[in-house]
Chains A and B, each alone.
Chain A
């Protein structure tokens, strides 16, 4: 079974530039997540989709970050304009279901991540 795909794997940009990341989840997974992992920290949830709807974007800096999952499959995360503190690994993850009552189907599978460096 193919895992979560992400691209690009690495990106170096200057501050104030824009950047976009792409994610394709595991086939059939309804829930998709974008996480930000700063060096030395655990992953921090930015946004969570259930199919093509946003379930949680409370930690997404909406003045500069945006994300969409228009057809309920792949997703893009955009940063515009980037700041130095956005340097991090951006991880995409997917799961079958993460409703409260779900059990056994809510394991999250992560993609390899995109390592962003903002200069």
Chain B
């Protein structure tokens, strides 16, 4: 089983739609969770961190369920500019005292007029 698994996508939605992405992780020792956004032929950029209590940033809402080892990202009122690949990212510590980030495969979102 892969350490981080995401919906395969792509998701094709019209402008204004609400879309949700799901992600599961296999290592229960994982500490922190993030969503990164990657535009076509560009580098990944941090979209938001994910907290146990859930967190919202404008039209974006992230949720974490540690018991189910499940992370989600909800985008409301989709815009054309939301078209991108969304990467689920998990941070866990290592014996060295440092952490590592593991990226999911990404879910592509295409928002059409």
Interface residues in chain A, defined as those with a beta carbon under 8 Å from any beta carbon in chain B: 31, 40-45, 48, 50, 55-56, 91, 98-100, 102-103, 106-108, 110-113
In the bound assembly, the distance between CA atoms of A61 and B103 in angstroms comes to 19
Please give me the residue from chain B that is nearest to A43 by CB atom. Answer: B103
Beyond contacts A45-B102, A108-B101: 7 other A-B pairs, Cβ-Cβ < 8 A, are A31-B98, A43-B103, A99-B98, A100-B31, A100-B93, A106-B32, A113-B43
Q: Please, how many angstroms separate the alpha-carbon atoms of A112 and B44 in the complex?
A: 9
Given A40-B105, A56-B94, A100-B93, A45 contacting B42 (CB threshold 8 A):
no
A40 contacts which chain B residues (CB < 8 A)? 105
Docked pose: A106 CA to B101 CA in angstroms:
10
A108 and B100 form a contact (CB under 8 A): no
Chain B residue contacts of A55, Cβ below 8 A: 96, 98
Q: How far is the CB of A51 from chain B (nearest CB, A)?
A: 12
Determine if B98 and A110 form an interchain contact, defined as CB atoms under 8 angstroms apart: no
Size of B's binding interface in residues, CB under 8 A: 23
**A42/B99 contact (C-beta < 8 A), A108-B46, A110-B45, A112-B43 known:** no
When distances are taken between beta carbons in the complex, the residues of chain B under 8 Å from A112 are 42-43
A98 with B99: CB separation less than 8 A: yes
Query: Closest residue of chain B to A110, judged by CB?
Result: B43
Q: Within residues 64 to 94 of chain B, which ones have a CB less than 8 A from any CB in chain A? A: 87, 91, 93-94
Q: Which listed residue (B87, B94, B99, B103) contacts A106, Cβ 8 A?
A: B99
Q: Do A44 and B103 touch (CB < 8 A)?
A: yes
Give 10 nearest A-B pairs by CB, closest first. Answer: A42-B103, A110-B43, A100-B93, A55-B98, A43-B103, A98-B99, A42-B105, A42-B104, A42-B106, A107-B46
Distance between B72 CB and nearest chain A CB, rounded to angstroms: 17
Q: Are A56 and B96 in contact (CB under 8 A)?
A: yes
Which one of A41, A102, A111, A113 lies within 8 Å of B99 (CB-CB)? Answer: A102
What residues on A are CB-neighbors of B31 within 8 Å?
Answer: 100
